[in-house]
Amino acid sequence: MLDSNVEGVEQSVSTGSLPGWEQVDSLVVASHTRNRACQDGAVADYIPVLAQADPELFGVCVVEVDGGVHLAGDADVEFSIQSISKAFVYALVCEEFGHAAVADLVGVNNTGLAFNSVIAIELNDGHPMNPMVNAGALATTALMPGATPDEQWNAIRKGLSAFAGRELELDQEVYRSEAATNTRNRAIARLLESYGRINRDPLEAVDVYTKQCSLRVSARDLAIMGATLADGGVNPVTGQSVVSAEVCRDTLAILAANGLYERSGEWLFEIGLPGKSGVSGGLLTVSPGKAGIGAFSPRLDPAGNSVRGQQATAYLSRVLGLNIFASQAYAPSERSTNVH
């Protein structure tokens, strides 16, 4: 695997700036107004408690790297973080063990298959492939420091709370509902154990993972967490350094390649930003050096991604100039005449 951490070489970054405060504020409201009437998609029901979600809820939030917060709609309504937690647990594990070790054990490549695929594990000789699918997420959670599952869980909750800038709480109802129906994750963990990819009790790892997915967040929280990744690991609201800039880079690369599962290529093509979805309707997007975007709407597309959240984020990506692949040609007067 290529190693981008070249010792002795000073690294530069490519960032930019957002429009003025009032313009960002009005565009966040516009992203909500334009999409709130959409009725496409359906609420997730494979976890019983998620089927009870109000399908009309819809919130959008943008948090700038200077700490500025822009809200629209139900941005402070709480929901379970679900798979979005994978990104931040991965960041915490990378902070502990480093770039190469975690990449070797968990992997970075897209499976091209569903998030809970067992076939992907078997096709790759037991390798989880990446931390955004359930196999990789379970292997990542099992790596969290702690002598006991309780210690690991406390480390995860503390770490994700630092990203959010407030103490996050466990949703006991969601946890109980998921714990009663997570048989597939238990099977995946047992399979990973057979390949030597989990060195702890696999069922305990599943329980810790289930708890991390059951933490309560809001669209505002997701935007702050995203802005922390956008700001080199410093929470722009609290000023706390949570992880290193190098860990943020690794995490965002993983999200760009794998954050929306088998739709990741389509998402990157259309939106042009690292992102991560959750089946409760949450959607996290990060514009490096600029901002984090959090969206919440429980109606999902067939791949499990928030429909209105995607539409609002697509709008913001375009009007705020966030797409990391977008460029404009220099005007003729700006081009150098020194052609070699």
With CA atoms as reference, report the closest residue to 215 among 148, 282, 295.
282
Task: Please state, in angstroms and rounded to a whole number, the distance separating the CA atoms of residues 171 and 22.
Answer: 35
> 65, 174, 242, 279: which is the annotated catalytic residue?
279
Q: Residue 279 catalytic?
A: yes
- The tokens describing 53, both together, are 């979600």
Neighbours of 125 (CB within 10 A): 7
> 86, 211, 276, 290: which is the annotated catalytic residue?
86
> 261, 286, 306, 307: which is the annotated catalytic residue?
261
Task: Please state, in angstroms and rounded to a whole number, the distance separating the CA atoms of residues 176 and 218.
Answer: 20
> 28, 31, 90, 209: which is the annotated catalytic residue?
209
90 is in an annotated binding site: no
> 31, 80, 83, 214: which is the annotated catalytic residue?
83
178 is in an annotated binding site: yes
- The tokens describing 149, both together, are 């599952």
Q: Residue 117 catalytic?
A: no
83 is in an annotated binding site: yes
Q: Residue 83 catalytic?
A: yes
Per DSSP, the three-state class of 212 is helix
Beta-strand runs (E) in the chain: 59-64, 69-73, 79-80, 216-217, 275-277, 282-287, 291-296
Task: Please state, in angstroms and rounded to a whole number, the distance separating the CA atoms of residues 103 and 123.
Answer: 18
Q: Residue 209 catalytic?
A: yes
315 is in an annotated binding site: no
Q: Name, in order, each residue with C-beta under 8 angstroms of 30's C-beta and a sequence gap of 6 or more.
A: 315, 319
14 is in an annotated binding site: no
**What are the residues facing 64 on neighbouring strands?**
291
Tell me the one-letter amino acid at 207. D
Annotated binding site: 83, 134, 178, 185, 209, 261, 279
Catalytic residue list: 83, 86, 209, 261, 279
Annotated binding site for substrate: 83, 134, 178, 185, 209, 261, 279
